[in-house]
Structure 1
Amino acid sequence: MGLRVSVLGQLTVVDGAGEVLPAGELPRRARQVLAVLAARHDRIQSKDALADAVWGEDLPGNHAGALEHYVSVIRRRLQPHGSPANWFIVTRSGGYLFDTSRAGLDLADLRQLLRRLDSLPPGDPRLPVHEQILKLARELPFPEDPYAEWAGPVRSEVSVAAVNALLKLADAALAEDAPRSLRLAQEAIELNPFLESGYQAAMTAAVAMGRPDDALRIFERCRQVLDSELGVAPSAELAQIKRAVLASRSVEAPPPAAVVAPLPAPPVPAPVVPSERFLGRVAEIRLMLEPETPAVVHIVGPSGSGKTAFLAELGRHAPGRVGIGDAGPAVGVLRLAWLRSVLTDLDAKPEAVEAVERALPDQPLDQAALELIATTFDRPEQIYLAVDDARDLDAASVAELAWLSRHCPALRLVLAYDYPSQITGRPLAGLGTPVVLRLSPLTADELEPLGDPGLRELTGGIPALVAVARRPHEVAGAVAMQIARRRTEWMPALAWEVLRVTAALGDLGAAELAALTGHPVTEVLSAVDALVHACLLREGPNGQVGHASTLVREAVAAQISAATCLYLRKQLAAAS
């Protein structure tokens, strides 16, 4: 095959002679068109669907004509001597298709390897396939558009494939090459710092190398990440490895050389009561624990609002009765990873867990498997199946949840995601929304136990910012910027411009924002409504709006040059 396109990492295109073509010089929109088609390769994309992915709500007046222009640009630049007979972007049924029979695509190769891995019969060697997967998946795709809705699922798919390959290879290398096992496990941690299996593999490798202190440091890193970012402690399994390491060190400690008269015992200090890590949400937790809690409860709130911590807190209030799974990585071979986590939390029978592990990724669970899993939820008291990042659950997973809900009277489904609008038209909407609990920012009263009067203004009450507010400025700023980006990724570009202008100039009215951004007042008000709803802006006196969090404002302002600030001030003065 001649032409080859690579989207894992930076976009590159190489012709049959090995010459690198100027893909990076394509116009920004042309690169996005190429990226979306690559993400959805070998599937026809209608012009409407393709334009929706590229422009979102900011569609140009003639989006079909604009797409035709950018596809023409791609063809001229990358296949200057091509023709309809060999163009890899094929016009078909009024839309476009990336045809991998005409151009190689690394993402298609990766997906083929994953399908091959799924189809291998038991006993066939899998490590060579994992090696090939890792070779392709070390870099995530579409770094130019990491927050785009079309790119997110693909980046997650590649990340899951890479982490899974790293951990399988780390386990295989442990006996004969513990240093390599440790390197692979650490690479998995870098890709997903919240996955405990990475830390477990790294600790095991460090112990095998005779480096118990390194194993303890790895545990401590895991504890700090989970505590500061998610508000949870490491699992009992990981804690057991730590205890084993400590026990082995104490066995090696030499006995005292001589017996000496004991010194008077020092006074015993009063026990220190740790400060409460989880704040607020009292009414929401009480509602969840009521005897007649609805069968399905949706927990919503934008990025950083503490949904994951809320689920963990529910587990602390109902010990042994809450199983939590994360549907974020539930793609391909890991479609039911969330259900396996739930069953593990609830100490399900081994055969129930095995039924999930045996399931094929592209087929729903059969009746026998569902009945076996249902025994986990057959209890006299309420039991909770919680799914974090639930919006992208596929139709099979939703059907399985619906079956369990119908057949297990004590079962309560708890589904967490960002916004109710996200599930419109998605399978998850089929479960209904009898109760939707929105996690609002924490109030000054809820933050009072921390003893920091300025915390509400600094963080806007956003739990993720509260957790990092007094950490180094670089850390807090990075988290604040990530939250701002995540909360605005679904909004029109004008919303980010409003956020930038208010970061540079402070509180402004709608008319002032319209003059500074060059947009009609009606569009500005729509962007402001979205930003207020996302708790990034607050409404002040006289109809003005400003940043709800000082941390977010400073993070956004740090990206604005002094020249831009001066220009905006002059523009504001001229408009006054």
Structure 2
Amino acid sequence: MLIGLLGELEVLDDEGNDVTVAGAKLRALLAVLALHVGRVVPADRLIDALWGDDPPAAVRNGLQGLASKLRRALGSSDLVVMRADGYALELPSEAIDVGRFERRAAEGRAKAAAGELDRAVDLLAEADALWRGDPLADFAYEEFASAAITRLSESRLALVEERLDIELQLGRHQRAIIQLEELVAAHPLREGFRGLLMLALYRAGRQADALRIFREGRRLLGEELGLEPGPELRRLESAILTHDPSLTPPAASTPAMANGAGSHPGIPQALTPLVGRDSELRDLMGLIAEHRFITLVGPGGVGKTRLALEVGRTAAEGLSFGGCLVELAPVGDPAGVPAAIAAALDLPDPNRLAEMIGERDLLLVLDNCEHLITAAAEVAEGLLRRCPGLRLLATSREGLRVGGETIWPVPPLVPDDAVRLFLARAQASGVAIDLADNQDEVITDICTRLDGLP
């Protein structure tokens, strides 16, 4: 069982299925126990967290009843145990995403201390990727969660700051600039992020912008707190003004593509077999052999991404540099499209994508372009003009409408394939369906009403 606190409360069973924990007090009890996993939380402390200063007369009976309900919700009487005068959640710390976050963070810091900076960056990034939103988001206004929310939020910011510091030590200042700009905008009084952004801008040849960031920070500190920037930030400003040699960037760690090794992550394998789509695969494989830019279009849920990954993997097998998936769904700022492509290819400078890809035979799958249409179109057109060996396979709810694009609408599944997919997903979730009871007609009707959408 896995429990998530780094976002809204999430509970998953051993197969990865959602476990429903209903009721505000029941969810709060689980959250408190998960924050102290493996340790006894005294009953008085639980009562204070759940009922505050005005508990009912029979509150201990109420707490005992909640614990029983939680055992039933989690599907095991062994997970919530009573010891002495309290309760404990009997799970390993790794079962809670907070525990996994703290462990990956500690491992990353140990690698950084040992000088293994590339591995440190990977581990710190893995730790940050565990976050799904604000910590304990369901309990933002609950007093019992206040201290934990503050501690976890600060831990994440410190970890992100450490990772970006290491990125700069590795000479990856170009890649760090976009994220640092967002972080400074979100946390304008945090001098650590501001200093890293100043350094990254300076190393990118943008001295004036680096000094502007300092002036903006000084103004904000003065207006908000009546303070001057700290000594480290002031020393960095002086060093930038005098072009101090200590600010010279180290040689960037050369990504695999730049030196010809071609070890970018590639297009991931699907976890489940593709159901149907035989004719669609044949058509698309023929198209991609003749056209360099194809966009799969259709409504959400029609299966664009699944089909693109299948086609992309097959087509990439014949290319010397293979293929790579670029997930654009998490990118909120149109300016972040080049950075997303650079990150997927493990390239240090999003401003030099065309130069670094060069004439290499490579297929990029640009997934979920619809909210970044204009930016994605501009980047795609620019890369195709300058990189003769590049092929693009995009997914979007509408075409990008640029020169050389072939728009291919993804149809719904045919009825027989829709039923096969329904049965496969039902069986995977542990549901037994007996088609002898004429349930096939019911399933066919369901798939028809859903227009064959997967």
User: What TM-score, normalized to structure 1?
Assistant: 0.38
Higher relative contact order (CA 8 A, sep 6+): 2
